[in-house]
Structure 1
Amino acid sequence: MALDFSIGIIGSGMLGAAIAEALWRAEPQALFVANRSGKAPDIPGFPAENVLTDPQALADRCDVVILCVPPAAARDLRIDATDKLVISVMAGVPLAELSRISGSLRVIRAMSSPAAAQALAYSPWFASDAITEQDRARTRALFEACGQTDELHDEAQIDLFTAMTGPVPGFVAACAAAMARHAEAEGVPPEVADRAVRQLFRSAGEMMTEGPTPQAHVQEMIDYAGTTAAGLVTLRDNGFGACLAEGLAAATRKSREIY
């Protein structure tokens, strides 16, 4: 579906700016941003007149309103977006609260990431009962411009994805950093370790984009019983998966406490 509707983004921090860049590239009917400073996003050709300081003025002009302010700022945010589609990418703000903030029953709670600027984000979303099929189509089109998307049927899972896929590179960077530290401890120059790990994770990401699942890749290597298998079995037997799950669970709990 083409973005043949007007879109407004309230809040233009890192995530808001990344989504704005993705949507601008997808050529919406019109794109507006609102922030307190009136600062335009760093997007070549973005019209200065489409940058507003009044969230209500933005809501009045747009078919779809995206809420993208920090959760703490959301406590004082109020707009009248009755009969508009309102989409939130604010961490931890529950669906019921979105209707109170916006006055709309047609609300969607979602999560995305700054990778949207490169159309590489994963943006899952959960819809209120009042959402129409047109709303669903528009939401899919909007998030497909940012990367990949799925509709979820359990609101609690939005908090999980806030922890898992929202903070790109997040947990993936933690794994990369640990590997680089190990190489340095073995005497590899830091710049070489950094370059090697960056290229490894770039190639791994490309290889896992299509084809077997990550789980299947791991099992393939274990079954091959080579050098990598020895390392993977050691990680498995020493609780690598359980430790990572604990980290994800802690981040998920924080998402539920942040608002």
Structure 2
Amino acid sequence: MLAQTTLGFLGAGAMAEALIRGVLAAGLVAPDRIWVTNRSNRERLESLARRFGVRTTPRKAEVVAAADLLVVACKPKDVPDLLAEVGRLTRPGQVLLSVAAGVPTRRFLDEVTPGVQVVRAMPNTSCLVRESATAICGAPGTGPEALALARELLGAVGRVVEVPEDLMDAVTGLSGSGPAYVYLMVEAMEQAGVQVGLDSRVARELAVQTLLGAARMLVETGADPAVLRQQVTSPGGTTMAGLQVLREMGFAEALARAVARAAERSRELGALVAAPQATGG
């Protein structure tokens, strides 16, 4: 399906590059079927054209006219101005896929031409290594073919699940912000390793590989994490002693609060760009 689709990226940052890199590496789309534009950074466009062979232009209208699938890959704060500029240049039958965090589908439906099918997505930064955890949802009126197209594109950079839109802020709190929680944990594990006598380089290598191995165990065995935890927790052993400290320090509660606050912040930020009058003209 994607092979016969012309992609148009409105935004040329890290997320756009990750998606471009992913679909090209997977052989899903030819480079000459990918158009890219951005607000003002012409050097960035030249770099993408040189490295990937994609088509670039400073004219957003040209991208909108060429594309079957438009990818809104700008910063959330730039969405109002983008829609004011090109919203009505869209045409019925086009698919608009937004990866702008927190921006609800209704914001796009209010500004694009009737008949455009809108899909909202929340990938995470692991798309840069094609291991994103991504959730998608369709706006009212968006059909299964549009969702399948978005799923195929985003599947080139990781795993994709579909959720109702009212859960997208929860997704942001869990997997959208989740990589940062993991990085903080690795930082803490490395520092703890140093405190018990390890060299910092060795401590980091061990911490990272431990995380990678545990994740692969979860994926490849399909086992419940509680079961895997119990399997490595011997009564009276070292793991039990360490887990007891984490429980006493409120490890699970801290994570729950972090996810909830990040989800709340996603709702707050989304509200700032939810209404058309927020464009300021």
TM-score by length of 1: 0.89
- The corresponding residue for 1:221 is 232
SS in 2 for 1:187: coil
Which range moves more in the overlay, 79-88 or 58-67? 79-88
Identity of aligned residues (%): 25
- The corresponding residue for 1:180 is 190
Aligned match for 1:82, one of 91, 94, 108: 91
Q: CA deviation at 1:166?
A: 2.2
Q: Quick check: 1:89–1:110 contact (8 Å CA) kept in 2?
A: yes
Counterparts of 1:117-136 in structure 2 under 5 Å? 117-136=128-147
The amino acid of 1:37's aligned partner reads: N
- The corresponding residue for 2:59 is 54
* Cα separation, 2, equivalents of 1:2 and 1:97: 26
The amino acid of 2:128's aligned partner reads: A
Aligned length: 257
Q: Quick check: 1:114–1:168 contact (8 Å CA) kept in 2?
A: no
* Cα separation, 2, equivalents of 1:233 and 1:224: 12
Q: CA deviation at 1:129?
A: 2.1
The amino acid of 2:151's aligned partner reads: R
- The corresponding residue for 1:28 is 29
Q: Quick check: 2:72–2:96 contact (8 Å CA) kept in 1?
A: yes
Q: CA deviation at 1:176?
A: 0.9
More helix by share: 2
SS in 1 for 2:71: strand
SS in 1 for 2:82: coil
* Cα separation, 2, equivalents of 1:213 and 1:225: 23
The amino acid of 2:158's aligned partner reads: G
Deviations 1:150-207 (A, max 9, x none): 1112x13211222322246311111111111111222322222222212222222222
The amino acid of 1:46's aligned partner reads: F
SS in 1 for 2:147: helix
TM-score by length of 2: 0.83
- In structure 2, relative to structure 1, the CA distance for the partners of 1:9 and 1:165 (3 Å cut) is same
Q: CA deviation at 1:225?
A: 5.5
Instruction: Confirm whether residue 138 of structure 1 aligns to residue 144 of structure 2.
Output: no
- The corresponding residue for 2:219 is 209
Question: Structure 1: which 5+ residue stretches go unaligned?
Answer: none
Question: Structure 2: which 5+ residue stretches go unaligned?
Answer: 273-281
Query: Considering only aligned residues, what root-mean-square deviation do their CA atoms show, in Å?
Result: 2.2
- In structure 2, relative to structure 1, the CA distance for the partners of 1:224 and 1:138 (3 Å cut) is farther
- The corresponding residue for 1:11 is 11
The amino acid of 1:150's aligned partner reads: V
The amino acid of 1:28's aligned partner reads: V
Q: CA deviation at 1:71?
A: 1.0
Instruction: Confirm whether residue 169 of structure 1 aligns to residue 184 of structure 2.
Output: no
SS in 1 for 2:232: helix
